[in-house]
Amino acid sequence: MKRDNFILSLCMVGIVAMAFMSVEDINDRSMPYPEGFRKWVHIKTTLTGFGRVPQTKLDGFHHIYANEKAITGYETGHFPDGAIIVFDKQVADTARNVIKSGSRKFINVMYKDSKAFADTGGWGFEEFTGDSKTEGRLSVERQQSCFKSCHQAQASTEFVFTKFTN
């Protein structure tokens, strides 16, 4: 569990570092905002850095959601095209001695299309800032960097970090 959180944190550090790179035009590999993802299957929630003041971009709640095709992937070990996994990052609100999810920092999206994203293990990667459905989009270079610096090491689990336990 700690190893998974460490690896996930390293991946998120890479995404934060890439956010400061020059912004390139959005490409035909961009994905739409995953409408209704909070109604999908909740895979897990982790909480990091809630005691840190101020919290970094990576601190807070990590909520992971999966659509039906991604659930098939979690159950069988093979994620079919059309599988979508959403990483919903929210502030850890610690007011009044209660720790709860606060405002959204960003969401990261993994979308499986083995033909369109053959160079990144069949997965496309996208980011949306805050509650925006258009801001924070990733260029082709940033998508490839996310794969190479983080997800490529997870080849044995089809490049997915999380595990679903029911």
CATH number of the domain to which 11 belongs: 3.50.70.20
* Structural domain includes residue 83: yes
Q: Which amino acid is at 21?
A: M
* Structural domain includes residue 165: no
* Structural domain includes residue 162: no
Domain that holds residue 90: 2-157
* Structural domain includes residue 12: yes
* Structural domain includes residue 93: yes
* Structural domain includes residue 26: yes
Counting the structural domains of the chain, the total is 1
Q: What is the overall mean pLDDT for the chain? A: 77
* 8 Å CB contact between 89 and 70: no
Q: Which amino acid is at 119?
A: D
| Per-residue buried b or exposed e for 117-142, using 16+ beta carbons within 10 Å of the residue's own CB | beebbbbbbbbbeeeeeeebbbbbeb
* Structural domain includes residue 151: yes
What pLDDT digit, counting tens, does each position of 31-71 carry?
789 999 999 999 999 998 877 788 788 889 999 999 999 99
What pLDDT digit, counting tens, does each position of 90-142 carry?
999 888 888 999 999 999 898 999 998 888 788 888 889 899 998 877 666 76
Q: Model's pTM, two decimal places?
A: 0.74
* Structural domain includes residue 85: yes
